[in-house]
Structure 1
Amino acid sequence: MAEPVTSKSLLWLVAIAFFMQTLDGTIVSTALPTMAKALNHSPLQMQSVVEAYLLTVAILIPASGWLADRFGTRRIFMLAIFMFALGSLCCAESSSLEQLVISRILQGIGGSLMLPVGRLAILRSIPRRQFLAAMSFVVMPGLLGPVIGPALGGLLVEIASWHWVFLINLPVALIGLAVSYKVMPDLRYSRGQRFDYLGFTLLAGAMAALTIGLDKLSHYQAGNYQASYYLIGGILLIVSYGALASYQKSPLFPPQLFSVRTFHIGFWANLFYRMGSGAMPLLIPLYLQLGQSLTPFHSGLAMIPIALSAMIAKKYVVQLIQRFGYRNTLRSVSIMQAICFSSFTLTNHSLLGILIQLSVLGALNSITFSGIGTIALRDLNDEQASPGNTLLSVIQQLGFSLGIASGATLLALFYQITPAGNSILWSFNWSFIVLAAIVLIPSFLYLLLPNDAPLHQRR
């Protein structure tokens, strides 16, 4: 009887950790304008607070499995919670933007390890036939984070201060540490191969350089070429990693993954989709507060339809794909996403219209995320599954980070060239139009997918 109790306790532990991570990912967005005012910065240049966290998570995901195997799941999981709590405390104590960014990096170190290590512990602790049900249980609390995060962040800012957006993590983390010591199994595994330190360093450097390069563009001044140096450096590091991986015996991510057609398409579709849609969690709260004059709390409440409609749409993804096929479903949704992004330029003063748009956007995002995640991994063999899944997780996080950077850069650049007599809404409108073009790019990639629709649906 003891084993089911232990397994259930482990599931609850990982589920709460995932909830804490997803909550933190959304609770900050509505508080950014207030943070900017307190730290004497423009709200249009606070994207580094979000980027620092997302980029750190993306960089460390490839190392999470190796660290757990080398030092044990319990030790690494507890370290993850501790680093997340320490980063949260440092965020709350920050008195400058630079300190806040460094503190978010500490948070990101913890956030990058919690779910992968927790998922690994579950995979090795319960029968494989129960894994799908177990992960469904773990994921459900995490889906609540985006629902309550924006509104909770806005409420804390209004009734207390922005510091509580981070301090709220501390009691949960303390409980998590105590429970982890009793519940988390101490599992280790000998892989029989060395970790690809050089490949990891090259990829980490590339991700950092590309994100920083895009961020630097938002602060662009004539004659300053720092952004170009970072972007070129990032591209060169990626090329260097490709050359290294092509002859290495055990590279971090085998190049053979890209010989699988569906993975190749899914990889690039994920990147462009995230670069477009990833900007919205930053832009929409700013749009509602700076462009529509909503309070932080009300702008947070307005974000709830995105998460609720995403949860509802997820129930119908399988039915849609079975009826119309991956290619037709994903291509149609990509076109509708571009139209939805563009439509934000049409209802500048209608809150009801904005809520409807956000609901539609959440549903489309849910369908796309499930579809391209599945198609990318569908045709990988057993040997390719693990590195393919890890690389997909990395590119999703990196795409989200690049999306935040792209959205902030577009908004800042358009703000600099806003014609006289136009409000800040002009900058938002053109940013939405460019992002619509980015999310449309995957629709052309989906044409390369096999037509897997039923015969009566094919043309």
Structure 2
Amino acid sequence: MEKAVSPRSLAWIAATAFFMQALDTTILNTALPTIATDLHQSPLQMQLAVISYALTVALFIPISGWLADKYGTLNIFRFAVTMFVLGSVSCAFSMSLEMLIFSRILQGFGGAMMMPVARLAIIRTVPKNELLPIWNLMAMAGLTGPIIGPILGGWLVTYASWHWIFLINIPIGLVGILLSSFFMPNVKNQLSKFDWQGFLLFASGLVCVTLGLDLISETFVEKWQASSVLGVGCLFLLAYYFYAKGKSEVLIPLSLFQVRTYNLGSWSNLFIRLCGSGIPFLLPLMLQVSFQYSADYAGYMVTPIAISSLISKPFIRPLLKWLGYRKLLMINSLCMAVAVGLMCLLTINTPLWAYISLLFIYGMILSIMFTSVNTLTVSELDHHNASAGSTMLSVIQQVGIGLGIAVSAIALNFYRSFVAPEMLQQAFSYTFLTSSIFGVILFFIVAKLDKSDGENLH
């Protein structure tokens, strides 16, 4: 008997995957020094535990759509969540750095497929006019995860033990598996032979780009080495472009970008992250290094972003009906640029109400931007290109987050070299202003949308 598809239930299933994945990318950073002490390792070596996860995700994201097409969305989703939970348990019981790295690879294998497959199930089964509220619900988890991560990680390390930052995934994962068993359809699709040549080119490029972006913001490698790895990754992706050009039966067909809303939405996704992904990295760092706040206090200070992201969700659909996608995104991109730019005015003497107000507004802008752009990006995908579209969207988001953090780190280090140590706050201010430029570029991208774009989503 075929399952009755419940769009809201699918959204909650995707939210559990999104939350675990988003939480995991940030919660570990807070606990690294404590884990290093427990495992008798240098804190600098512990970055391998972070990088190994990111590289595994980058390696296996490209095959997630193909596997879902072959074995079904339900089967692959449950398998992915199971691997992620098993990896989390293995992380919690790791007695050495080598064991922790292996466990993180296992986690990354599951994490690479959870979100693309959950998103694919939604694209293939939820009617377009119901997509917006479903995406709204799913996106809340992705927005709150990176904010809650540092706070929860610091609290667990301080008042429990670092093992709990991994064990917390067990109940969340079990809920996801249980919900999917009842409510996720096992959608399959007719597909051709797996494109091994395209996979090797694309995955190699993605792994090298991810590694290069991670290494650029680290201090244990030379910048030229990180740039070389990044350059090799770009060459692999360029090679994939020439390999896939004009072909339809490839891993990620380039014809996908001939869908105008998908093309513009993909570029918008990238520049949203260039503008905003560095904020969760810059703000806690500024509060601790420049303002001398404690780590847990700095974590609490970014909570207005998460709170306002949740509060603004019910207003997104009415705003889109009133203004339309093009006008709302144009206004919102300028507001995003202004909000990020205004962060350059933050000092240790900034009144608390002004600080909270700015971050509260920024969180609302970010929430509107993510939901609007992501739903618009997939709005014109048909059954044939839904799998590749979902996979590529995950790739863009994964690379975009790393690129946003790397660009912020490079800009901060660049400006630091021009200011005296006691003027460190100026370097942060200049970095915020630099990030705001990407919001202006985003404005010109969304301005290319037609007034009618997104009407099928209302």
Q: 1:37 to 1:325 in 2, by over 3 A?
A: farther
Q: 1:50 to 1:437 in 2, by over 3 A?
A: farther
> Is the counterpart of residue 268 in structure 1 residue 256 in structure 2?
no
Aligned to 2:20: 20
Q: 1:128 to 1:421 in 2, by over 3 A?
A: closer
How high is the TM-score relative to the length of structure 1?
Answer: 0.80
- CA displacement at 1:419 relative to structure 2: 3.1
Letter of the 1:331 partner, please give it. Answer: M
Aligned to 1:240: 239
Aligned to 1:456: none
Cα separation, 2, equivalents of 1:448 and 1:259: 14
Which has the larger displacement, 405-414 or 392-401? 405-414
Cα separation, 2, equivalents of 1:223 and 1:242: 29
Matches within 5 A, 1:28-427: 28=28, 30-31=30-31, 40-41=42-43, 53-54=53-54, 56-71=56-71, 75-92=75-92, 103-118=103-118, 135=134, 139=138, 142=141, 145=145, 148-170=148-170, 172-173=172-173, 179=178, 187=186, 189=188, 191-219=190-218, 225-349=224-348, 350=350, 351-415=352-416, 417=417, 419-422=419-422, 424-427=424-427
CA contact (8 A) 2:3 2:183 kept: no
Secondary structure class of the residue paired with 1:345: helix
Cα-Cα RMSD: 4.1
Cα separation, 2, equivalents of 1:421 and 1:11: 48
Q: 1:181 to 1:257 in 2, by over 3 A?
A: closer
- CA displacement at 1:363 relative to structure 2: 0.9
Cα separation, 1, equivalents of 2:301 and 2:365: 17
Aligned to 1:442: 442
CA contact (8 A) 1:80 1:111 kept: yes
Letter of the 1:281 partner, please give it. Answer: P
CA contact (8 A) 1:269 1:372 kept: yes
Letter of the 2:411 partner, please give it. Answer: L
Cα separation, 1, equivalents of 2:340 and 2:91: 32
Cα separation, 2, equivalents of 1:435 and 1:164: 34
Cα separation, 1, equivalents of 2:342 and 2:132: 39
Q: 1:291 to 1:37 in 2, by over 3 A?
A: farther
For structure 2, list consecutive stretches of 5 or more residues without a partner in the other structure: 454-458
Letter of the 1:376 partner, please give it. Answer: T
Cα separation, 1, equivalents of 2:128 and 2:269: 29
Cα separation, 1, equivalents of 2:397 and 2:175: 30
Secondary structure class of the residue paired with 1:448: coil
Letter of the 2:233 partner, please give it. Answer: G
CA contact (8 A) 1:151 1:297 kept: yes
CA contact (8 A) 2:20 2:145 kept: yes
Corresponding residue pairs, total = 448
Q: 1:344 to 1:101 in 2, by over 3 A?
A: farther
How high is the TM-score relative to the length of structure 2?
Answer: 0.80
CA contact (8 A) 2:262 2:378 kept: yes
Aligned to 2:456: none
Letter of the 1:314 partner, please give it. Answer: K
CA contact (8 A) 1:215 1:406 kept: no
Cα separation, 1, equivalents of 2:74 and 2:384: 26
Secondary structure class of the residue paired with 1:449: coil
Secondary structure class of the residue paired with 1:316: helix
Q: 1:369 to 1:175 in 2, by over 3 A?
A: closer
Which has the larger displacement, 32-41 or 163-172? 32-41
Letter of the 1:442 partner, please give it. Answer: L
